[in-house]
A and B are shown apart, each in its own frame.
Chain A
């Protein structure tokens, strides 16, 4: 009961926050130098529109504004956008007039979702043991080496690692295809590249969380009661130290929804990141606003989900 009220209240906060975020985005675009709102086809023309008379140009601009709902004042554009956005209708983008953005998102979402889940699974499967090992062997060379490599993997830009992997596995060894997204073989390299970042985060987090738990009084008590090392750790420490991991998996997942763009381009993975990343630099305003919308929504929902799960796992936490 408390839970339902809590979730409803959080959902309302999310709604308000998103409205504010969208308004800020619009204002920022409006402030930006140059035109954001009626420009797409003129940059594409490579100077061709210069041959048109002002009157002809006016016809084109009018048609363009009509298609994208730009023929009303800014505040109304924002209102119209919000009204449609919460029903997941975003209209077409400048860079792709062929189909509405929601169709593009619907097609790309499963790919990104699969990529994100697979990578996260890999990151968890590898990251947690790494963190545990590092924590148990705290301040030994095992700790240093595992931490060093997992962190290095997350810090070297994944794109660079990807290119090197392609050279090694596809061009020289010829064991993996360079790119694509159908067969499991094609998925190996992109998943590894994407997993490196969260893997390091999880390993580090796991390490410090486990160390933290190992320092707690009840673990010391367990030791005192005469439990063997391993049993103590398995039973108490590990379970309790896993709880905070949940908090970082959520935001990391939300981040993966768009943070994978370089990898997507490199491996021809038709995901969301590809769609969103150029929106700002190409001044594709419908896409820019929509990506802001989707991103902030998913981050906020993920955080909510994490808080709820967290509360289930750790009964000490109460919903305020």
Chain B
């Protein structure tokens, strides 16, 4: 933390130094490149995918990979490659979307608790504790049950159950920062509260928040796949990794391509995010523990 603050005072060189440190971690760089590539692919999926995700070819069910269907076909003869691309797009939507929800709730609750302190802080932190202890998966299932299924509900559900960590993080930082020397100094010089928040506190919180989000994204994807495995994920025929893997496992004896490709892309994507998260953490926050 101290390092971060010192760097901050030296202005933009903090980010330059972070980028230097990040570059040293080869896996993180590789992960970042992978993520950028899949984000680009995901944006252009409808144009890249050779087939629509729901187009069946009944004469070609369970086909092994071939020139026509690069990754083979599934039980309805749908192109596995295209379905994987769409599944990836959905996963990214859920991963990023859920983290936006986490960010909004976490920052609001965390900063209110941190700034106000006192009773409001106690109440908000008790709520956060309860959220922390609440069995996330079960809560997600209930939320999806209550709100109905769909991409949007799932990302909201994942976000709604995942903000406790963020809120704690933000609260801790706000409490630290609001009494930090340079903030006091700014205050002494007559800066307004809003100015202080905008100019000093938010920029200094950015690093840890980014790290937390970077780890949150794969977590969101992971939770969605768990939901999909018990049939509560996105709405078919829209594919998701969870239900592709869940369905594919049943076919492993004769059609292993139905499970291998989704598993590989799923694992690679999650790994990439985790590596980038690691890299960011080391780069932005070199002495933190997690």
List residues of chain A with CB under 8 Å of any chain B CB: 13, 16-17, 20-21, 24-25, 28-29, 31-33, 139, 144, 147-148, 151-152, 155-157, 159-160, 163-164, 167, 204-205, 208-209, 212, 215, 244, 258, 262, 276-278, 280-281, 288, 291-292, 295-296, 299-300, 303
Contacts and interface: CB of A to CB of B under 8 A. Distances in A.
A28 B229 contact: no
Contact of A160 (B142, B230, B245, B278): B245
B46 to A, nearest CB: 28
29 contacts: A13-B129, A17-B129, A17-B130, A17-B133, A21-B130, A24-B130, A28-B142, A33-B146, A139-B25, A144-B27, A147-B27, A151-B271, A155-B267, A155-B274, A160-B259, A163-B249, A167-B252, A208-B278, A208-B281, A208-B290, A212-B287, A212-B289, A276-B138, A280-B142, A280-B145, A281-B231, A292-B135, A299-B133, A299-B135
Interface in B132-150: 133-135, 137-138, 141-143, 145-146, 148
B134 A262 contact: no
A25 B271 contact: no
B245 A157 contact: yes
A29 B130 CA distance: 18
A244 B138 contact: no
Nearest to A159: B249
Given A148-B271, A164-B252, A281-B232, A157 B225 contact: yes
B229 A208 contact: no
Contacts of A159: 229, 249
B146 to A, nearest CB: 5
Nearest to B231: A281
B144 to A, nearest CB: 9
A258 B148 CA distance: 24
Given A163-B252, A215-B287, A258-B135, A139 B26 contact: yes
B24 interface: yes
Given A17-B133, A295-B138, A155 B266 contact: yes
Interface string B242-286: 000100010011000001000100110011001000100100001
B271 A152 contact: yes
Given A32-B142, A160-B263, A281-B230, 18 more contacts: A13-B126, A25-B142, A31-B146, A32-B146, A33-B148, A151-B271, A155-B218, A155-B267, A155-B274, A157-B225, A157-B229, A167-B252, A208-B278, A212-B287, A244-B289, A258-B135, A278-B230, A281-B141
Contacts of A21: 130, 133-134
A204 B277 CA distance: 12
Interface of B: 24-27, 126, 129-130, 133-135, 137-138, 141-143, 145-146, 148, 218, 222, 225, 229-232, 245, 249, 252-253, 259, 263, 266-267, 270-271, 274, 278, 281, 286-287, 289-290
Contacts of A151: 271, 274
Nearest to B288: A212
A164 B245 CA distance: 13
